Structure 1
Amino acid sequence: MTGPGMLGLTEADWGIILLSLRIALVAILFALPLAFAAAWLLARHSFPGKSLLQAIITLPLVLPPVVTGYLLLLWFGARGAFGAPLNEWFGISFAFRWTGAALAAGVMAFPLLVRPMRLSIENIDRGLEEAARTLGAGRIVAFLTVTLPMLLPGIIAGAVLGFAKALGEFGATITFVSNIPGETQTLSLAIYSLMQTPAGDSAALKLILVSAFLSVAAVILSEWLQRRFDTRRPG
């Protein structure tokens, strides 16, 4: 058994931390484009069922996480409506794998990604976009040179906040992909396991401190980026 290393963390502790960071990062990278599309749709378009779409996007924040995890198990499990064809046709499996933990984390973080991006899109001065287009810029060029730079701080702030949420995800993950050391056991699940074992308090405390540090750092970074966005906003 490997003894404590840097910061009193064992090799197993570092494995849990790195797996958690990997799952959270993959979750945000895949959720971000979908969240941006949803934010753009909600901010720029009016259509029947818009309120319903907004409610569905918000559901992971208000539903008990175990309910979200159970729904993911039904839809993306080995025999789920989406999980079975994905596994059969593309070899993509979510059940009891780290990919399933990333999916659960991405779903839970999704509303936190959409909201700041939607607010950023709504606060853009549409006149600047129109001015760029009257000067000859096409729709795509205007978006890349005018719109996206103004949105970037909000996108980054939302991504960092979503990352913090994904990093601390527990209920949906343990319901969907269980608590498998080395595969799906993230920081939150490892802390839970240690708290259930005799004399596990000291080991759990180290991971709690690491988890708290990472989450607080992510929130502070998100707030800093949002303040920078606010100070740079025209008007």
Structure 2
Amino acid sequence: MDFTPILLSLKTAVAATCITFFLGIYAAWKTANMKYGKGILDAIFTLPMVLPPTVTGFFLLVFFGKNSLAGRVLMAHGWGLIFTWQGAVVAAVVVSFPLMYRTTRSAFEQLDGNLLAVGRTLGLSETKIFWRVVFPNCFPGILGASILSFARAMGEFGATIMIAGNIPGRTQTAALAIYTAMQTGNREQAYQLVGMIILISALAMLAMNGVNKCQAHLVRKGGN
């Protein structure tokens, strides 16, 4: 069995999750503390989650294409994204970002506001309050969001094939390899890849359940 598509999917998902981890936390924290325009910004951040992946891929292709301003700037610096692994990472970031953002924002909004008030009373800066109070208390929710984002990035298909293509050994992730195997009648390879994806997804869900149990334990402990 050729493990290249699986390894490429894992590499893409890990890279995308690292990016969405920081982008999602920042966007969630800023949005959760906004007084005006929260609904509009929330709709924009969540939009890739409800759009068909091919539509998301279409917009990415238009935005980063060689005829666009962003595409010309990137190509001038040798950073073209179309039909590259980096393009697959961008696609995975865009489609997995809403999960990271919404789950993390929910964790932030459930945090007891009295903890923040105490931190401000003690003279802590907003940055210190975030890293010493908010982040540790919301870490289970943030970790769960990261796992969901990783699983979503791992299985991305539509946006990836639009912007990165389906190039074996370069941009052909596991989802694309399964599609190709079925198209060419190679069912054995398709079954093997499907089995690997199911195994990885199951491990991700087990990790998610572990995070939920840990979070519930902390809640009960805090209540006592």
The alignment's TM-score, normalised by the length of structure 2, stands at 0.92
Structure 1 residue 66 corresponds to structure 2 residue 54? yes
Q: 1:203 aligns with which of 178, 183, 189?
A: 189
| CA distance in 2 between partners of 1:47 and 1:119 (Å) | 18
1:84 is aligned to 72
What residue identity is the alignment partner of 1:54? D
| CA distance in 1 between partners of 2:138 and 2:44 (Å) | 24
Contact 1:28/1:106 (<8 A) preserved: yes
| CA distance in 1 between partners of 2:80 and 2:19 (Å) | 16
| CA distance in 1 between partners of 2:217 and 2:69 (Å) | 47
Q: 1:143 aligns with which of 124, 130, 133?
A: 130
Q: 1:232 aligns with which of 206, 213, 218?
A: 218
| CA distance in 2 between partners of 1:84 and 1:151 (Å) | 40
1:192 is aligned to 179
1:143 deviates by 2.1
Higher relative contact order (CA 8 A, sep 6+): 2
Contact 2:46/2:102 (<8 A) preserved: no
Q: Where do 1:150-161 residues align within 5 Å? A: 150-161=137-148
1:34 is aligned to 23
Q: Any idea what SS the aligned residue of 1:82 has?
A: helix
Runs of 4+ in 1 over 4 A off after TM superposition: none
1:166 is aligned to 153
1:3 is aligned to none
Q: Any idea what SS the aligned residue of 2:3 has?
A: helix
Q: 2:98 aligns with which of 111, 114, 117?
A: 111
Contact 1:73/1:80 (<8 A) preserved: no
| CA distance in 1 between partners of 2:73 and 2:115 (Å) | 45
What residue identity is the alignment partner of 1:161? L
Q: 2:118 aligns with which of 102, 127, 131?
A: 131
Please, which moves more after superposition, 179-188 or 52-61?
52-61
1:98 deviates by 0.5
| CA distance in 1 between partners of 2:50 and 2:97 (Å) | 13
1:22 is aligned to 11
Structure 2 residue runs of 5 or longer lacking an equivalent are none
What residue identity is the alignment partner of 1:80? S
2:33 is aligned to 44
Q: Residues 226, 46 of structure 1: CA spacing in aligned structure 2 closer, same or farther, 3 A cutoff?
A: farther
Please, which moves more after superposition, 80-89 or 206-215?
80-89
2:81 is aligned to 94
How many residues align? The count is 221
1:157 deviates by 0.8
What residue identity is the alignment partner of 1:227? K
Please provide the CA RMSD for this pair: 1.5
